[in-house]
Structure 1
Amino acid sequence: MRESGIHVPRDTESIEREIEQARNQLASTLDELSVRTNPKRLVENAKSSLVAKVNEPPVKFALIGAGALVAVLVLRKIFR
């Protein structure tokens, strides 16, 4: 740190506090990354996103229409 162009040495306790704060921040970041990248959580998030997307009216009705079309085509093939 400099005050008026004069170099002021930092005390050891101040440096140790900064190191401890940096260590705590790093530990917190690593904890959050481990939670975000947990495979089970990733699967759960993907599943809930897919369910939410499928439950949107345009997607839901398109899937119902596609299912009905497949059913009609299968029935036509069976009863020909």
Structure 2
Amino acid sequence: MARDPDTIQREIEQARDALAATLDQLGTKASPKRLVDNAKAEARSKLDEPKVKYALIGVGVLVGLLVVRRIFS
């Protein structure tokens, strides 16, 4: 069956609009600045957890003690 050219044109325009919207969404999601901001936020939230925070403090103290011991021995 042959389709009406106006119908075909409308379908093409709808598909084009849908594709443009999808590309805009992908552009927003894949924005380097947004990705960096999300990574920073995740790192900060992870470092604010008591387990991680106190483990890092302990490692820092241990490294500091080893450096001081190495300097004075």
TM-score bracket relative to the smaller structure: 0.7 to 0.9
Highest CA radius of gyration, 1 or 2? 1
CA-CA distance at 1:17 after TM superposition: 1.9
Supply the distance in 2 between the matched residues of 1:31 and 1:19 (Cα, whole angstroms).
Answer: 18
Structure number having the greater strand percentage: 1
Identical aligned residues as a percent = 56
Which residue, 56, 71, 79 being the options, matches 2:72?
Answer: 79
Question: What is the TM-score with the length of structure 1 in the denominator?
Answer: 0.74
Q: In the aligned structure 2, how far is the partner of 1:23 from the partner of 1:69?
A: 60
1:30-54 CA-partner distances (Å, limit 9, x unpaired): 1111122222222222222111212
In 1, Cα distance between the equivalents of 2:6 and 2:47? 57
Q: Deviations over 1:33-76 (max 9, x none)?
A: 11222222222222221112121221111111101111111122
Deviation at 1:28, TM superposition (A): 0.7
Q: In structure 1, what is the equivalent of residue 9 of structure 2?
A: 16
More helix by share: 2
Gaps of 5+ in 2: none
- 4+ residue runs of structure 1 moved beyond 4 angstroms? none
Aligned pairs, number: 73
